[in-house]
Amino acid sequence: MGGGNSHVLVFLVSVFFFIISSSVDGSQYKQLSTIHVMNSMAKGSGPMQIRCKSRYTDYGMQQLGEGTEYRCGVREKAVYYCMGMTGRRIASWHAFQPRRDGNRKAVFWLVKENGIFLSWDNSTWVRKSDWETD
C-alpha cells in the first residue's frame, strides 16, 4: 500500500470509530421525557423541598420557591418518583411511569394545598396524590 492510501485508511477507520462511539454515548444519555413540577402553593407558604429520582438516577433535594418550576430529564424507561415537603406536609408520587407516560415528551405536576395534580398538556389537571401530615 502506498503512503497516501494508508493515510486514507487510517482516516476512514478513525471516522468509523468516532461514529460508533458517538452513537453509543448518545443513546446512553438520550432524554425520553421531561418532568415538570410547579409549586402552586398559596402565597406566603414559603419554599418547598422536592426530590425526584429513579432506580439509577437521583437528582437530589432541591428547593422550589413559590410559583417556580423544577425540571428533570427522564433518561431511562423506569419509574421516577418525586417527593415534596413543605411545613409539616409530605407527599410522594410516581412522576414518570413508562406505561402511562412513555410516549409523552413532558409530564407536568402541579403542587397545591389540596394535592398533587398531573397533566400532559399543562392545562387539564387530575389529582393523583394527597398530602400526608406528621
| For residue 22, pLDDT beyond 50 | no
Cα(12)–Cα(63) distance, integer angstroms:
49
Per-domain residue ranges of the chain: 1-30, 33-133
Cα(134)–Cα(118) distance, integer angstroms:
24
pLDDT in tens, 85-107: 999 999 999 999 999 998 999 99
Q: Are 86 and 42 in contact (CB under 8 A)?
A: no
pLDDT in tens, 27-80: 456 789 999 999 999 999 999 999 999 998 999 999 999 999 999 999 889 999
Q: Are 81 and 93 in contact (CB under 8 A)?
A: yes
Q: Which CATH class is domain 33-133?
A: mainly beta
Place of cell 400526608: 132
